[in-house]
């Protein structure tokens, strides 16, 4: 094809065309009265009289120049009007040889007969690669030269304006139309409505509809479509109903779009009525309507009806298959979706990128993140190129899985295929790097983005903020403002969340105030971020205070808030408040939320109510990995290893793949029960049978397990054989075991590492002092205490609390003494003397002070858990169990005393310490004295 040289170059060649003109709407065709301006020059080939037959022209159409030559001949002989078909041939020829302007000029000045012809012109124009913009340019130019167009041409131009969103020209065309005639025909009115709907808003289009004198079916259909295109679902549906009342017939496109509206609005009844209409007017064979019906039923949660419609469709095309497959996927029936997918393949329908993307995003949304990667591989090996949507889903899955390396590979693919210029892909990349803790790469991708949307900014800001880089986050916030992007509630919430996660409660509250000063209202997410931050950092009381503030401001809690609050209840063992929240969950239908139910299981087990934890667990219809894990953990912290293992077995029967946390729970249940062999078994099998690679947490569990069982040397060997550097938890486990078994030598080795790794952790010094005291090595006790004091480390307060009559009573080594202390000690002495009659001997080994035995007994009596239990005994009545929480690890003397108390006063005592649970009943403890 030759380079396009516009028609006027040839016909106006006597006028030198030197200046390059700016393209849009300002080209200068010397076109008007073409025949008159044409110079009287003879073409080089001798002009023979042309026949009127079109074929004579077409025979000569070998190149653009030959087309022009023929055109010139035709004009010269003034045979333009001879045949409209001749004109068509020339237009087609110009299009074929790529001279789109000449084609458009001929189209406008030549003739324009009917709508059908225009559409085929537009089709042909685009088919040969012409940009419809050029049609508008030619029209504009002719219009400015004063050419008068008929209304049909104007309507045609209006259609293109509408398509190209050329509001200015469209309004100009409307002005021409008004000048021409007052009563526009239906087609023109439709074009006008279409234009206003797309370019000036639905309201203007509706005005055109209202002002129209006659509302025929074409106009009704267009009016409804205009509203639905603008996602005015309710308005569109309403108009459809009005149209029905007037017995105006709807066309297939309108019906399919109205069905879409029924889906969006959840208007099942209306949807069914339209289904009835479809059957009555025998429109069922229309595949567009069929597909819309399937979608409508899917959106209204009626997948079974959708399936019936699908099954009854015999001319299923690809969109139809895609609809039913995406329906199953949206509702989470991934297996059904695959079944249909395979069925589709056997019916010789090839999936398209939409099908694949639907599978990708569906598996991501339903948490099957690994499958997303498998589907990607499958589609690639089937020869499909992932597009921006595919990449976005895959990146999200990779982000969730934490597969940074996979993410980088996808980044490479993105770069190779030039997709990095796509806004959404780039945003997903930023987010992938942010969530995988690679802020440097996130920043690099961000810096390369030529235009950034608010999501990209927010993603990066949240990355810096959550990692505690508040300065960088604030700088970005200011920078985005400078670049003219207004921070939204998400931006501020990211800051709130970051501050809350770093215990910067004041700053987080400041952000909430800033949201208000910007004229926005802090929403449920802002408050929940603050509350969950408090719950996770141990500021449980503050969590409840902010809950009250939030409710005062009229913000209602949602399931996420509830999960955070339950965490606070679990942390404080606030069983009664936890139960209140459980009621709230039932009232507000939060029970079905997997996060809430998991948090409930955790709350009940940490508040000492294992039965309720089990009940919640059993009633869970859909058990997630986390819910199985928290139930196993629940049994584990009670030392109920048999039960924990049986939950694990049931989990495997349910085909749920265990993860690292499952094995930590299992190993710790073995640890709490001294099941060394079982522990080894799980440790060995977790990698070989389940593909879960042991982390340092698993190793430290094993050290604990070995050590507590008395295999201290083996524990040390095990530490030395570890594939990673042992951390403080590992050495801490060894030191704890050494203290239990009184092994000073090994303990000193562990302590040496610990003092290096955690020089400011008072618990380590306390453990070592305790170990020395057991062996009566008082000088070493003093030396360790001096070392600790030299480091400026202080042993924090030890506290226990018990709830009596809706109030929490705290007994602390640091705080004020309890006002009823006298009464408490009176009862405690009484109990001790009763116990002594039954054979109780105070276990003074727990006291690491070099003082007389009698003094040691006094120290033991002051242990906070004893005071808390005693207070519970005197201020509550049987059979209410007593629940005591302690923030350290219960000593063996308190353990013995609690057993006697449960026997003497016939009370169940639940005691939660920093490590696990003890349930005392009838003089026995659930831990069987192994803890």
Partner DNA sequence: ATTTGCGTGC
Binding residue (CB under 7 A) for DNA from 626, 751, 788, 846? 626
CB of 405 to DNA, least distance (A): 20
- Residue pair 388/424 in contact (Cβ under 8 Å)? The answer is yes
Q: E strand or H helix at 886, and its extent?
A: strand 882-886
Can you read off the two tokens belonging to residue 576?
Answer: 């009664």
Q: Where are the alpha helices (DSSP H) in 331-402?
A: 334-346, 353-365, 369-381, 388-401
Binding residue (CB under 7 A) for DNA from 559, 673, 736, 743? 559
The residue (of 88 and 491) whose beta carbon lies closer to DNA is 491
Q: Does 357 bind DNA (CB under 7 A)?
A: no
CB of 635 to DNA, least distance (A): 11
Q: Does 505 bind DNA (CB under 7 A)?
A: no
The residue (of 639 and 842) whose beta carbon lies closer to DNA is 639
Binding residue (CB under 7 A) for DNA from 189, 573, 629, 764? 629
- Residue pair 704/671 in contact (Cβ under 8 Å)? The answer is yes
Separation between Cα atoms, residue 771 and residue 532, nearest integer Å: 38
Q: What does each C-alpha distance from 74 to 64, 77, 402 come to in angstroms?
A: 15, 5, 72
CB of 621 to DNA, least distance (A): 13
Question: Is-cis flag, bond preceding 230, omega within 30?
Answer: no
Q: What is the DSSP letter of 923?
A: T
CB of 427 to DNA, least distance (A): 4
CB of 205 to DNA, least distance (A): 23
Binding residue (CB under 7 A) for DNA from 54, 151, 537, 558? 558
CB of 199 to DNA, least distance (A): 20
Q: Does 754 bind DNA (CB under 7 A)?
A: no
Stretch that binds DNA, among 180-188, 259-267, 491-499, 673-681 (CB under 7 A): 491-499
Binding residue (CB under 7 A) for DNA from 255, 515, 560, 894? 560
Q: Does 614 bind DNA (CB under 7 A)?
A: no
Q: What does each C-alpha distance from 717 to 62, 581, 683, 745, 746 come to in angstroms?
A: 90, 48, 16, 15, 12
The residue (of 286 and 633) whose beta carbon lies closer to DNA is 633
Length of the chain equals 931
Residues near 816 by Cβ (< 8 Å), separated by ≥ 6? none
Q: Does 563 bind DNA (CB under 7 A)?
A: yes
Stretch that binds DNA, among 10-18, 72-80, 421-429, 888-896 (CB under 7 A): 421-429
Binding residue (CB under 7 A) for DNA from 176, 423, 449, 904? 423
Separation between Cα atoms, residue 547 and residue 534, nearest integer Å: 11
Separation between Cα atoms, residue 798 and residue 141, nearest integer Å: 88
Binding residue (CB under 7 A) for DNA from 194, 286, 532, 609? 532
Q: What is the DSSP letter of 182?
A: S
The residue (of 219 and 733) whose beta carbon lies closer to DNA is 733
Separation between Cα atoms, residue 426 and residue 419, nearest integer Å: 8
Q: What does each C-alpha distance from 708 to 671, 736, 927 come to in angstroms?
A: 8, 8, 14
Binding residue (CB under 7 A) for DNA from 636, 846, 884, 894? 636
CB of 888 to DNA, least distance (A): 15
CB of 644 to DNA, least distance (A): 11
CB of 593 to DNA, least distance (A): 6
Could you give the maximum distance between any two Cα atoms of the chain, in Å? 138
Binding residue (CB under 7 A) for DNA from 388, 472, 514, 785? 388
Separation between Cα atoms, residue 359 and residue 379, nearest integer Å: 10
Q: Does 200 bind DNA (CB under 7 A)?
A: no
Binding residue (CB under 7 A) for DNA from 162, 389, 390, 770? 389
Q: Does 396 bind DNA (CB under 7 A)?
A: yes
- Residue pair 731/750 in contact (Cβ under 8 Å)? The answer is yes
Q: What does each C-alpha distance from 415 to 29, 408, 419, 448, 602 come to in angstroms?
A: 44, 11, 6, 12, 45
The residue (of 595 and 840) whose beta carbon lies closer to DNA is 595
CB of 659 to DNA, least distance (A): 7
Q: Does 609 bind DNA (CB under 7 A)?
A: no
Phi and psi of 608, rounded to 5°? 80, 20
* Antiparallel, parallel or unpaired: β 882-886 and 924-925: unpaired
Q: Does 529 bind DNA (CB under 7 A)?
A: yes
CB of 703 to DNA, least distance (A): 9
Burial, 214: exposed, middle or buried (Cβ in 10 Å; 0-12, 13-18, 19+)? exposed
Binding residue (CB under 7 A) for DNA from 477, 599, 651, 774? 599
Stretch that binds DNA, among 127-135, 297-305, 575-583, 626-634 (CB under 7 A): 626-634
The residue (of 724 and 862) whose beta carbon lies closer to DNA is 724
CB of 770 to DNA, least distance (A): 19
Q: Does 770 bind DNA (CB under 7 A)?
A: no
Contact set for DNA, span 638-697 (CB under 7 A): 659-661, 664-665, 668, 695, 697
Binding residue (CB under 7 A) for DNA from 83, 380, 453, 896? 453
The residue (of 251 and 503) whose beta carbon lies closer to DNA is 503
* Antiparallel, parallel or unpaired: β 924-925 and 799-804: unpaired
Please give the full DSSP string across 232-281, using - where no structure is assigned: -HHHHHHHHHHHHHTTPPPPHHHHHHHHHHHHHHT-HHHHHHHHHHHHHT
Stretch that binds DNA, among 199-207, 559-567, 844-852, 891-899 (CB under 7 A): 559-567
Q: What does each C-alpha distance from 101 to 33, 173, 401 come to in angstroms?
A: 17, 20, 54
Q: What does each C-alpha distance from 41 to 17, 36, 792 come to in angstroms?
A: 18, 13, 107
Q: Does 567 bind DNA (CB under 7 A)?
A: yes
Separation between Cα atoms, residue 373 and residue 354, nearest integer Å: 17
Beta bridge partners of 811: 800
Residues near 919 by Cβ (< 8 Å), separated by ≥ 6? 608, 638, 908, 909, 910, 911, 925, 926
CB of 395 to DNA, least distance (A): 8
CB of 480 to DNA, least distance (A): 11
Q: Does 443 bind DNA (CB under 7 A)?
A: no
Beta bridge partners of 801: 810, 885
- Residue pair 782/848 in contact (Cβ under 8 Å)? The answer is no
Burial, 800: exposed, middle or buried (Cβ in 10 Å; 0-12, 13-18, 19+)? buried
- With CA atoms as reference, report the closest residue to 68 among 31, 94, 47: 94
CB of 913 to DNA, least distance (A): 13
Helix (H, G, I), strand (E, B) or coil at 466: helix
The residue (of 558 and 761) whose beta carbon lies closer to DNA is 558
Number of residues in contact with DNA under rule CB under 7 A: 70
CB of 886 to DNA, least distance (A): 16
CB of 596 to DNA, least distance (A): 6
* Antiparallel, parallel or unpaired: β 807-812 and 882-886: unpaired
- Residue pair 729/700 in contact (Cβ under 8 Å)? The answer is yes
Q: Does 607 bind DNA (CB under 7 A)?
A: no
Binding residue (CB under 7 A) for DNA from 322, 497, 800, 844? 497
CB of 118 to DNA, least distance (A): 30
- Residue pair 337/328 in contact (Cβ under 8 Å)? The answer is yes
The residue (of 254 and 526) whose beta carbon lies closer to DNA is 526
Binding residue (CB under 7 A) for DNA from 293, 379, 701, 746? 701
The site for DNA (CB under 7 A) is made up of 388-389, 392, 396, 423-424, 427-428, 431, 435, 453-456, 458-459, 462, 466, 488-491, 493-494, 497, 501, 524-526, 528-529, 532, 535-536, 558-561, 563-564, 567, 570, 593-596, 598-599, 602, 624-627, 629-630, 633, 636-637, 659-661, 664-665, 668, 695, 697, 700-701, 729, 733
């Amino acid at each position: 094809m030759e380079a396009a040289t516009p028609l006027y170059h040839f016909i106006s060649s006597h006028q030198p065309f030197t200046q390059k003109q700016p393209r849009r709407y300002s080209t200068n065709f010397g076109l008007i009265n073409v025949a008159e301006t044409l110079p009287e020059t003879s073409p080089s080939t001798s002009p023979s009289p042309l026949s009127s037959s079109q074929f004579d022209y077409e025979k000569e159409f070998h190149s653009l120049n030959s087309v022009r030559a023929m055109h010139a001949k035709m004009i010269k002989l003034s045979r333009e009007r001879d045949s409209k078909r001749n004109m068509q041939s020339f237009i087609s020829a110009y299009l074929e040889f790529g001279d789109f302007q000449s084609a458009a000029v001929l189209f406008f000045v030549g003739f324009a007969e009917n709508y059908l012809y225009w559409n085929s012109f537009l089709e042909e124009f685009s088919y040969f690669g012409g940009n419809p913009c050029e049609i508008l340019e030619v029209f504009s130019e002719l219009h400015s030269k004063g050419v008068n167009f008929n209304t049909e041409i104007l309507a045609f131009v209006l259609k293109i304006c509408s398509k190209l969103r050329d509001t200015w020209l469209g309004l100009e065309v409307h002005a021409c139309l008004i000048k021409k005639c007052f009563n526009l025909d239906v087609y023109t009115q439709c074009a006008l409505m279409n234009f206003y709907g797309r370019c000036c808003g639905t309201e203007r289009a509706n005005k055109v509809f209202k002002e129209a004198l006659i509302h025929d079916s074409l106009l009704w259909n267009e009016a409804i479509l205009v509203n639905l295109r603008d996602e005015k679902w309710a308005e569109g549906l309403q108009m459809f109903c009005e149209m029905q009342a007037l017995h105006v017939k709807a066309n297939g496109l309108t019906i399919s779009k109205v069905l879409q509206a029924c889906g969006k609005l959840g208007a099942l009844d209306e949807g069914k009525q339209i289904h009835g209409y479809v059957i009555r007017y025998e429109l069922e064979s229309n595949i567009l309507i069929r597909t819309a019906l399937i979608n409508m039923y899917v959106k209204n949660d009626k997948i079974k009806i959708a399936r019936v419609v699908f099954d009854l469709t015999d001319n299923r095309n690809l969109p139809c298959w895609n609809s039913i497959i995406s329906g199953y996927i949206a509702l989470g029936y991934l297996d059904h979706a695959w079944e249909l997918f395979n069925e589709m393949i056997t019916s010789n329908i090839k999936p398209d990128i939409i099908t694949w993307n639907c599978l990708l995003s569906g598996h991501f949304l339903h948490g099957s993140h690994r499958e997303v990667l498998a589907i990607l591989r499958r589609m690639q090996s089937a020869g499909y190129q992932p597009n921006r949507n595919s990449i976005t889903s895959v990146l999200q899955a990779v982000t969730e899985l934490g597969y940074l390396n996979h993410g980088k590979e996808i980044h490479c693919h993105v770069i190779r295929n030039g997709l990095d210029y796509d806004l959404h892909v780039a945003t997903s990349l930023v987010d992938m790097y942010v969530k995988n803790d690679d802020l440097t790469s996130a920043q690099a991708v961000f810096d390369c983005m030529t235009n950034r949307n608010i999501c990209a900014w927010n993603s990066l800001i949240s990355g810096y903020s959550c990692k505690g880089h508040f300065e960088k986050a604030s700088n970005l916030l200011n920078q985005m403002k400078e670049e003219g992007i207004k921070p939204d509630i998400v931006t501020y919430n990211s800051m709130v969340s970051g501050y809350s996660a770093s215990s910067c409660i004041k700053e987080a509250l400041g952000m909430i105030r800033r949201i208000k000063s910007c004229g926005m209202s802090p929403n449920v997410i802002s408050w929940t971020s603050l509350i969950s931050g408090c719950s996770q950092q141990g500021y449980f009381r503050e969590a409840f205070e902010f809950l009250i503030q939030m409710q005062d401001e009229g913000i209602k809690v949602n399931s996420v808030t509830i999960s955070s609050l339950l965490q606070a209840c679990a942390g404080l063992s606030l069983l009664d408040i936890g139960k209140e929240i459980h009621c709230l969950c039932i009232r507000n239908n939060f029970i079905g939320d997997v996060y809430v139910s998991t948090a409930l299981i955790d709350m009940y087990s940490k508040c000492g109510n294992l039965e309720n934890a089990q009940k919640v667990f059993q009633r869970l219809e859909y058990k997630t990995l986390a819910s199985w894990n928290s139930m196993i953990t629940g049994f584990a912290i009670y030392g109920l290893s048999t039960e924990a293992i049986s939950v694990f077995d049931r989990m495997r029967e349910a085909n749920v793949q265990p993860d690292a946390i499952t094995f930590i729970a299992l190993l710790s249940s073995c640890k709490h029960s001294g099941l060394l062999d079982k522990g080894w078994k799980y440790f060995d099998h977790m990698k070989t049978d389940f593909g879960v690679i042991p982390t340092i947490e698993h190793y430290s569990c094993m050290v604990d397990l070995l050590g507590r069982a008395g295999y201290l040397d083996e524990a040390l060997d095990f530490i030395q054989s570890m594939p990673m550097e042992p951390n403080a938890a590992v050495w801490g486990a060894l030191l704890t075991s050494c203290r239990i078994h009184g092994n000073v030598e090994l303990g000193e080795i562990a302590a040496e590492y610990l003092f290096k790794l955690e020089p400011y952790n008072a618990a380590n010094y306390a453990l070592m002092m305790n170990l020395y005291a057991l062996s009566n090595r008082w000088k070493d006790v003093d030396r360790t205490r001096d070392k600790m004091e030299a480091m400026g480390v202080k042993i924090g307060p030890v506290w226990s609390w018990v709830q009596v009559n809706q109030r929490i009573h705290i007994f602390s080594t640091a705080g004020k003494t309890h006002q009823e202390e006298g009464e408490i000690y009176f009862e405690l002495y009484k109990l001790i003397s009763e116990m002594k009659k039954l054979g109780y001997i105070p276990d003074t080994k727990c006291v690491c002070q070099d003082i007389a035995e009698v003094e040691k007994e006094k120290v033991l009596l002051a242990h906070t858990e004893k005071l808390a239990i005693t207070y519970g005994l005197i201020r509550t009545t049987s059979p209410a169990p007593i629940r005591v929480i302690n923030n350290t690890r219960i000593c063996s003397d308190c353990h013995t005393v609690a057993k006697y108390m449960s026997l003497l006063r016939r009370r169940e005592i639940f005691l939660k310490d920093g490590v696990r649970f003890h349930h005392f009943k009838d003089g026995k403890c659930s831990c069987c004295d192994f803890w």
